Amino acid sequence: MIRKIFLVAASFMMMSTYTFAQNESKSANEDNSKTYKLAVSKGKMNLDLGRVTVEGYNGNEIVFSTKTRSRDNDERAKGLRSINSLGLEDNTDLGINVVEKNGIIEVKQLQQMTPPNIKILVPKGVTISFNHQSQFGSTITFKNIENEVEATASYNNVVLENVTGPATINTIYGSIDAKFSQNVKGPLSLVSIYGHVDASIPKSSKANVKLTTSFGDILIAPELSLKLETVDKSSEMIKINNQATGTLNGGGTSFLFRSDYSKIYLRGL
């Protein structure tokens, strides 16, 4: 009898300890959202961030946000602000510095090796310029942008989703994946030196198209009515080497796609 009571008590203690550990682990990994808002609906925003998602929306202020895990919160840091060696101060509590002057918004991160995962909601009247040269750059994403986008990076991968353009994207080691909106307007220029360029454009676009590579391949979806010096449209994609120039639906604005050491994929929407 005593042995049974002991076993029941031991089992209860083990279950309680396991449940407590689970709750502690869950609590430590819960996401806490932080936001910072700037009452600006037009102008230009310059970004120098290692990782970011920029999304256009119908609003009248720029909204910065990030999610942090509870266990990452530093209780000792309460009441203090971060600064870096350049003298930048975390004036947003998001790990970034935001300054607005004369219609230009400058956004910079403080830590170079571990960039915060920032999301930015941007009004339609704001143009976007991105420039980040750190080797610790991660993926940057532009979504639902109806205004001009410029991006220059060394290591960042660049993703465009439902972007209207104009768009000028340059990266050295990163890849570029782009799906443009049905209302796309040029000029478009997507250039990666060592990464692939994968672009989807509306089949109804009127454009002068140039695709160029030094050591890679160019693959074009047959459903795009590009007037190129190629034959064999029976395959799933048409393969071309080095350079291809042509017109889409009689020609129009300039579309440039370039990857020197990797592949170019051009698809229809």
Secondary structure tally for the chain: helices H, strands E: 1, 19
Cβ 257 vs Cβ 264: under 8 Å: yes
Measure Cα distances from 44 to 103, 104, 105, 129, 134 in Å: 6, 5, 6, 7, 22
Instruction: Please report the pLDDT score of residue 164 as a whole number.
Output: 94
Instruction: Please report the pLDDT score of residue 28 as a whole number.
Output: 42
Q: What CA–CA distance (Å, rounded) separates 181 from 163? A: 5
Cβ 64 vs Cβ 36: under 8 Å: yes
pTM: 0.80
Closest by Cα among 252, 255, 242 to 169: 255
Instruction: Please report the pLDDT score of residue 89 as a whole number.
Output: 86
Q: What CA–CA distance (Å, rounded) separates 44 from 42? A: 7
The helix (H) or strand (E) run that includes residue 4 is helix 2-29
Cβ 264 vs Cβ 242: under 8 Å: no
Instruction: Please report the pLDDT score of residue 227 as a whole number.
Output: 83
Instruction: Please report the pLDDT score of residue 234 as a whole number.
Output: 56
Count CB atoms within 10 A of the CB of residue 134: 17
The amino acid present at 189, given as its one-letter code, is S
Instruction: Please report the pLDDT score of residue 26 as a whole number.
Output: 47
Instruction: Please report the pLDDT score of residue 8 as a whole number.
Output: 47
Instruction: Please report the pLDDT score of residue 76 as a whole number.
Output: 73
Q: What CA–CA distance (Å, rounded) separates 158 from 169? A: 8
Residues of the chain below pLDDT 50: 8, 16-21, 24-29, 231
Closest by Cα among 183, 153, 147 to 166: 147
Instruction: Please report the pLDDT score of residue 107 as a whole number.
Output: 95
Q: Is the dihedral of CA 159, 106, 34, 120 positive or negative?
A: negative
Closest by Cα among 215, 214, 243 to 230: 243
